[in-house]
Amino acid sequence: MSALSANTDGLRRRRAVNRLMEAIATAAAFAAVVVLGIMVVSVARRGGAAIDLNLFTKTPHPFSFTNQPSGLANAFVGTAVIVGIATAMAVPVGVLSAIYLNEFARARVAFLIALALDVLNGVPAIVVGIFVFALIVVHHGQSALAGSFALSILMIPLIARATQEVLALVPQATREGSLALGVSRWRTTLGVVLPQTIGAIVTGTTLAVARVAGETAPLLFTSSIVGDRLQWNPHLALASVPLKIFEYSESPDPADHARAWAAALVLISFVLVASITARALAARSRRRMGLHR
Amino acid sequence: MRTRGVISTVGLALVVTAATAAASLAGTARQSATNLRGAGSSFVAPLVAQWQSNYKGASVDYNPIGSGGGIAAITARTVDFGASDAPLSKDEFAACKGCVQIPWALSATSIPYNLDLGRRLKLSGKVLAGIYLGQIKTWNDKRIQALNKGLKLPSTKITPVYRSDNSGTSYNFTDYLSSVNATWKSKIGVGTNAKWPAGIGAPKSNGVAAAVSQTKGAIGYVDVAYAIKNHLPFAAVQNAAGQYILPGNVGIKAAAATVSKVPSSNAISIVNPPSSQRSAYPICTFTYVILPLKTSKAADLRKFVFWALTNGQQYGPRLRFVPIPNKVLGASEKTLKRVHS
Amino acid sequence: MATTSPSLARAAELRRRGRFHPGDAALHGVTLVAALGAVALLALIAWKVVDQARPAMHRFGLHFLVSNTWDPGVHQVFGAAAFIFGTAVTSLGALLIAGPLSIAIALFLTELAPRWLRGPIGTLVEMLAAVPSVVVGLWGILVMGPFVANHLEPWLKHTFGFLPLFGGDPSIFGLLPAILVLTIMITPIVSSVSRELFLGVPQDLKEGALALGTTRWEMIRGVVLPYARSGIAAALILGLGRAVGEAIAVTQVIGGNVAIHWSLFRPGDTLASRIASQYQGATTKLQVGSIAYLATILLVFSLVANVVAQAIVRKVARRQPLIR
């Protein structure tokens, strides 16, 4: 009898500890959700109050005495140009690197290249900014192109990894079948293997775009000396949304804060929609390829 | 066949890229006509903003990254003109390889503070130095109380705010502190940045104004236009004649009236004017545009800077920028003529 | 994974038979250039940053790392000690909070949550990673800062004020807001890596433990955590690397002060934050070099952290078959 009661006491204690731990874990998860919720609600509430058509159609007018309506049109255009060019730079390099990694490289070389790409992914964005500043800006001045180059450095590892992961999933039989039919190597790779991966490449690119659209540090040294005019010439430094948010966040003017919240709302909406879309596409294509989580 | 699909996608992408490139190159041709890019002092940014909207001879872009940034940018020729409240040092002149500095505006550094007092605070140079040296720590210190008889000062801690970036306003302020306090002069000295013994740093004039308005008991130094724009109360500072003066147009004009001869480098210091100027505000400064002597945009730059020196001055007084005195205007114009292509 | 020998042998055979296409060589060449380019980029970044730092390295040498001074004025003496201290305090502090928090979240998502809840909550936590750092910083200055200064720090001072950590006066800028902001930023990374690890623990090991009568927590403590131990270490190192490299959100809330003191309420600065606030305005070669020297320290640290984490991740992946 005593053994049984001792067992029950021990069991009760263990169950209590279990319940406590489960409660802590649940609380942690909800804490994360709550913090995210508070942040998003702050941005939504304050940004929503300040958002209007002017934000997209007018340019900034600091120190204006006539209270002209102002907005961030130049920043939205600038970000579109900079991110667009960065994508055009990063996709070829990322995809081609992944093709080499998966189709041509021997095991040891592949290991080293993959490691290098993963390490490149971890280089702080601000160091990338200094690098591009020292490489390009010191000699040619600031420009959207320099900013795009900096952002593309951040995108390449993400795109390469996404492409490489799906290339590895294409069955070897597909390749061998094509080669056995006499199709040359390059046509096999480009015409048979690659088309199956287009979906994943689009997904990886979308995620990379979502990541760099909000990056501030690389643009701080490469595309920050900008005017208030609407410009899209990539040889000049162009305004960008994250830099404008940064600038307005350090201002004491509540009107600047309102504009910062509104721009943050647009930015966060874009990034979240892009991320969710990319992940939904990825899940769908994974299902189509017959793999389940 | 699959290959055709991939090739056509790639081809389409190339066409789109080529079209974008063509469009942007066309944009280049159209827009580089008369575009002047400048960067530097956030002190003069409010006035430059007025010039940007009122000058019709070119499109002027300006980014207020701080005087240090402006000097660095024009030295690297990443901009067409730089702006700084701090005159270039000998090393900076050498690094800039053939630059000139031209005083083109004149204003003052105000001392904003975050206290509910009911009446304006009075400060002296010695007290300011003591605060920024960390020797005077609370507002009800008897040294501050002595200047403000009849005003009950709280026991709140003083948080001095300084510019964390390389700033011409810092140069002006440390110039003033060095001239009124020997300890400051020997220990810290004058500069666009310094080894600030006490307080917190904030970047750019905006940052200082923000830090002061958000921290109870804070005190800072910032271009008077920023203090006014952000409704910060600023102190009346005692000048050499013993008078407590505000950084208004009268005080600035009186300080600038002390300039008798402009040195060949155009570097003028008007802090702590002598007691003969009874209504002078003691922390005023000229601010300079820095131009390369040889530049392809010489004609456009000369036109713009000349306009700024003459017509442009009318937009100043509302922002507490006083038109530059004739002696300085003459020197500025003479230097401007040297800029050629 | 590289192609296996059958395909290579096949291609070699085709070549011998004269069916060799120059297109193969072209593709091989172009992709090789791309891959080497990406790798070369890494080396180029390291070289260029160190190259920029040379004037400061010559002048200050290794003493730079322990010298607590930043005088860009007349004397031009620079040292990184205050920023190394700030980086260490903020990153380790963030890891101290985010580590257990993220592991708890990962455990919740893999073991405890009902199946219908796992997807949504998991997505929400990942969305936290998608919030740009400048927006976190904006929220940090305007919403979290006043809360910290008016509520959190006074409470901490009231309750734990005897600790030097919580001495000092509450302010909206300081090391504590920086720690909180960094915690928000690294939690998603650590928790998503941990989540992958926990999903990889073999089901039969877990079920075996439960069949022996352990409670869920005992199973987690006895089976899941030990199994995933090295992976968790990698996740924590990745999180640390991210925290150390964060410049924007930190510079917005930390106050930019060059000082070493124990109070978390006082402002300070980190390596990344100082680079962000000073780089553009640096005029002398020595100041630019000193800032590049800071970047070098940052780069060395994040490279080491990254390589170590990647090595651990690869070792773990080899041990576990890929379950996708």
- Stretch A250-262: mean pLDDT, rounded? 86
First to last CA, chain C: 16
The predicted-structure confidence for A191-225, as pLDDT tens digits, reads as follows 888 888 888 899 899 999 999 999 999 999 898 87
The predicted-structure confidence for A152-166, as pLDDT tens digits, reads as follows 999 999 999 999 988
Question: What average pLDDT is seen over chain C?
Answer: 85
* Residues in chain C closer than 8 A to B202 (CB atoms): 255-256
The predicted-structure confidence for B51-88, as pLDDT tens digits, reads as follows 988 898 888 888 888 888 888 889 888 789 999 999 99
CB contact under 8 A, C307 and A124: no
Higher-confidence position of A114 and B28 = A114
CB contact under 8 A, B63 and A226: yes
Min Cα distance C165 → chain A (Å) is 24
Residue C98 confidence (pLDDT): 93
CB contact under 8 A, C73 and B188: yes
The predicted-structure confidence for C197-254, as pLDDT tens digits, reads as follows 888 888 898 889 889 888 888 888 888 888 888 889 999 999 999 999 999 999 888 8
Of B71, B164, B199, the CB nearest to C283: B71
Q: How far apart are CA A204 and CA A213, in angstroms?
A: 14
Q: What are phi and psi of C76, to 5 degrees?
A: 55, 55
* Residues in chain B closer than 8 A to A251 (CB atoms): 206, 209-210
Residue C11 confidence (pLDDT): 63
Name the residue of chain A whose CA is nearest to B315's CA: A65
Portion of chain A with pLDDT greater than 70, in percent: 94
C59 assigned to some structural domain:
no
Kindly list the domain boundaries of chain B, sorted by start residue.
35-107+286-336, 110-256
* CA contacts within 13 A on the Cβ side of A166: 26
Higher-confidence position of A39 and C11 = A39
C24 in the same domain as C79 = no
* Residues in chain C closer than 8 A to B68 (CB atoms): 281-283
Suggest the residue from B24, B44, B48, B60 to mutate for an interface test with chain A (most A CBs closer than 10 A): B24
First to last CA, chain A: 48
Suggest the residue from A229, A233, A249, A257 to mutate for an interface test with chain B (most B CBs closer than 10 A): A233
A136 assigned to some structural domain:
yes
A89 assigned to some structural domain:
yes
A167 in the same domain as A78 = yes
C220 in the same domain as C139 = yes
A139 in the same domain as A37 = no
Name the residue of chain B whose CA is nearest to C174's CA: B200
* Residues in chain B closer than 8 A to A253 (CB atoms): 206, 229-230
Suggest the residue from B1, B4, B6 to mutate for an interface test with chain A (most A CBs closer than 10 A): B6
The CATH number linked to C114 is 1.10.3720.10
* Residues in chain A closer than 8 A to B53 (CB atoms): 61, 64
> Subunits that touch chain A (at least 3 Cβ pairs < 8 angstroms)?
B, C
Residue with tokens 């941005």: A43
Residue B9 confidence (pLDDT): 54
A124 in the same domain as A41 = no
Name the residue of chain A whose CA is nearest to B44's CA: A63
| Residue C267, pLDDT above cutoff 50 | yes
CB contact under 8 A, C127 and A36: yes
* Residues in chain A closer than 8 A to C137 (CB atoms): 246, 249
> Subunits that touch chain C (at least 3 Cβ pairs < 8 angstroms)?
A, B
- Stretch C116-141: mean pLDDT, rounded? 86
Q: How far apart are CA A162 and CA A168, in angstroms?
A: 10
C169 assigned to some structural domain:
yes
Residue ranges making up the domain that contains A99: 56-288
The order of strands in the sheet holding B200-202 is B200-202, B159-163, B218-219
CB contact under 8 A, C248 and A291: no
Suggest the residue from C112, C118, C121, C138 to mutate for an interface test with chain A (most A CBs closer than 10 A): C138
Q: Between residues 173 and 192 of chain B, which touch chain C (CB distance below 8 Å)?
A: 174, 188-192
pLDDT band at C118 (very low <50, low <70, confident <90, very high): confident
Question: What average pLDDT is seen over chain B?
Answer: 86
The CATH number linked to A245 is 1.10.3720.10
Residue C1 confidence (pLDDT): 45
Q: Does any CB of chain A come closer than 8 Å to the CB of residue C203?
A: no
Residue C13 confidence (pLDDT): 66
How far is residue C137 from each of residues A34, A238, C83, C133, measured CA to CA in Å? 18, 22, 19, 6
How many domains would you assign to chain A?
2
A293 assigned to some structural domain:
no
| Residue A44, pLDDT above cutoff 70 | yes
What three-state secondary structure class fits C16?
helix
Nearest to A219 by CA among A156, A132, A138: A132
- Global pTM value: 0.84
Lowest mean pLDDT among A229-238, A276-285, C138-147, C269-278: A276-285
The predicted-structure confidence for C64-88, as pLDDT tens digits, reads as follows 999 888 877 667 889 899 999 999 9
Quote the tokens at residue B197: 């013994």
| Residue B198, pLDDT above cutoff 80 | yes
Q: Which of A50, A68, A84 is the last residue of a domain?
A: A50
CB contact under 8 A, A122 and C113: no
CB contact under 8 A, B68 and C282: yes
A27 in the same domain as A79 = no
C61 assigned to some structural domain:
no
Question: Does domain B110-256 fall into CATH 3.40.190.10?
Answer: yes
Suggest the residue from A61, A63, A139, A201 to mutate for an interface test with chain B (most B CBs closer than 10 A): A63
The predicted-structure confidence for C33-45, as pLDDT tens digits, reads as follows 999 998 899 999 9
- Stretch A85-95: mean pLDDT, rounded? 95
Nearest to B3 by CA among A284, C8, A178: A178
Higher-confidence position of A282 and C174 = C174
How many domains would you assign to chain C?
2
CB contact under 8 A, B61 and A251: no
C293 in the same domain as C188 = yes
CB contact under 8 A, C75 and B202: no
Residue with tokens 């649940």: A26
Higher-confidence position of C151 and B15 = C151
The predicted-structure confidence for B290-321, as pLDDT tens digits, reads as follows 999 999 899 999 999 999 999 999 999 989 99
A150 in the same domain as A231 = yes
Q: Does any CB of chain C come closer than 8 Å to the CB of residue A49?
A: no
Residue B29 confidence (pLDDT): 43
| Residue B1, pLDDT above cutoff 60 | no
| Residue B33, pLDDT above cutoff 70 | no
Whether the CB-CB separation of C103 and C232 falls below 8 Å is answered with: yes
Torsion angle, CA of C130/C131/C134/C139, rounded to 10 degrees?
Answer: -170
pLDDT band at C322 (very low <50, low <70, confident <90, very high): very low
- Stretch A55-81: mean pLDDT, rounded? 83
Cβ-based neighbours of C234, under 8 Å, separated by 6 or more: C193, C308, C309, C310, C312, C313, C316
First to last CA, chain B: 60
CATH homologous superfamily for B35-107+286-336?
Periplasmic binding protein-like II (3.40.190.10)
Q: What are phi and psi of B202, to 5 degrees?
A: -140, 145
CB contact under 8 A, B207 and A192: no
pLDDT band at B30 (very low <50, low <70, confident <90, very high): very low
A140 in the same domain as A80 = yes
> Subunits that touch chain B (at least 3 Cβ pairs < 8 angstroms)?
A, C
pLDDT band at A2 (very low <50, low <70, confident <90, very high): very low
A8-21 burial, b at 16+ Cβ within 10 Å, e below that, comes to eeeeeeeeeebeeb
Q: How far apart are CA B245 and CA B252, in angstroms?
A: 10
Q: Does any CB of chain C come closer than 8 Å to the CB of residue A245?
A: yes
Ordered DSSP codes for B115-162: ---SS--EE-HHHHHHHHHT---BTT-HHHHHHSTT-----PBPEEEE
- Stretch B210-236: mean pLDDT, rounded? 88
Nearest to A192 by CA among C30, C23, C2, B3: B3
A152 in the same domain as A25 = no
Portion of chain A with pLDDT greater than 90, in percent: 33
C104 in the same domain as C10 = no
pLDDT band at A292 (very low <50, low <70, confident <90, very high): very low
Residue B12 confidence (pLDDT): 58
Residue ranges making up the domain that contains C43: 5-54
A157 in the same domain as A31 = no
Q: How far apart are CA C178 and CA C254, in angstroms?
A: 6
Q: Does any CB of chain A come closer than 8 Å to the CB of residue C294?
A: no
A246 in the same domain as A278 = yes
* CA contacts within 13 A on the Cβ side of B308: 28
Residue C228 confidence (pLDDT): 87
Of C71, C251, C283, the CB nearest to B72: C283
C153 in the same domain as C36 = no
Suggest the residue from B96, B214, B216 to mutate for an interface test with chain C (most C CBs closer than 10 A): B214
| Residue B31, pLDDT above cutoff 50 | no
- Residue B245 forms beta bridges with which residues? B237
Q: How far apart are CA A251 and CA A263, in angstroms?
A: 15
Q: Does any CB of chain C come closer than 8 Å to the CB of residue A64?
A: no
* Residues in chain A closer than 8 A to B78 (CB atoms): 137-138, 141-142, 225
| Residue C162, pLDDT above cutoff 70 | yes
C127 assigned to some structural domain:
yes
Q: Does any CB of chain C come closer than 8 Å to the CB of residue B38?
A: no
The predicted-structure confidence for B94-121, as pLDDT tens digits, reads as follows 888 899 999 999 999 999 999 988 889 9
| Residue C53, pLDDT above cutoff 80 | yes
C179 in the same domain as C74 = yes
Residue C316 confidence (pLDDT): 74
| Residue A68, pLDDT above cutoff 80 | no
